Chain A
């Protein structure tokens, strides 16, 4: 099993450009999440999904959109990148609600110049 795979691992964008980060999990997990990690702030939840075709806003959703067209994939989009979106992005998944833990991808380091 690959677990949770994020693509790409690194990216540099110019201000105003758009891009999509892909998260894929092969564990048949129901819930998927996008976090961003910034120094001294831990992981902050951007958006999440509790099932195919559903999405919801997290703590810091502004400037991002998401889609979950297939159960195994969760896409994070930046329509017009800003330097404030320079961060490390992590995808995570959970089997379902209840006593289960989150599994994380290896992260995507995004720099917006």
Chain B
């Protein structure tokens, strides 16, 4: 069965510091991969997605993610975090022939001044 692991329940970074959120998935083939962000009391907004091709994908708000097949990982990065980035981040996968998108448990990001 597919599964998604986000090892960090929460992370605190200083404003202006770099950020990396980890995501590992369990699936035999390369799935479709997604990162979503959720601000408090809001729905989920797509940050970026990977379907195929270039393994480094760019998203909105200055985020990027890199797909590493050998590590079954799809880590999210941002070079310089802003206070407005404080939110919860979800990694998600869907296999290429499937109907269901499976989500990780989420990583809550705190940004300190």
Q: B-contacting residues of A (Cβ < 8 Å)?
A: 31, 33, 35, 40-45, 48, 50, 56, 58, 90, 92, 94, 97-99, 101-107
Q: Judging by beta carbons under 8 Å apart, are B105 and A40 in contact?
A: yes
**Given A101-B49, A107-B43, residue A42 in contact with residue B101 (CB < 8 A):** no
From B6, B32, B44, A99 is in contact (CB under 8 Å) with B32
For A90, the chain B residues whose CB sits under 8 A away are 43-44
B46 at the interface (CB under 8 A from A): yes
Total CB contacts across the A-B interface at under 8 A:
57
B98 at the interface (CB under 8 A from A): yes
Q: Judging by beta carbons under 8 Å apart, are A106 and B99 in contact?
A: no
Cα distance A92–B103 when bound, in Å?
A: 13
For B74, the chain A residues whose CB sits under 8 A away are none
Cα distance A105–B44 when bound, in Å?
A: 8
Q: Judging by beta carbons under 8 Å apart, are B106 and A97 in contact?
A: no
**Given A97-B97, A99-B32, residue A104 in contact with residue B43 (CB < 8 A):** yes
Minimum Cβ distance to chain A for residue B19 (Å): 20
**Given A104-B44, A105-B43, residue A40 in contact with residue B97 (CB < 8 A):** no
Q: Scan residues 93-113 of chain B and give those whose CB is less than 8 A from a CB of chain A.
A: 96-106
Minimum Cβ distance to chain A for residue B69 (Å): 17
From A31, A42, A99, B52 is in contact (CB under 8 Å) with A99
Q: Judging by beta carbons under 8 Å apart, are A101 and B34 in contact?
A: yes
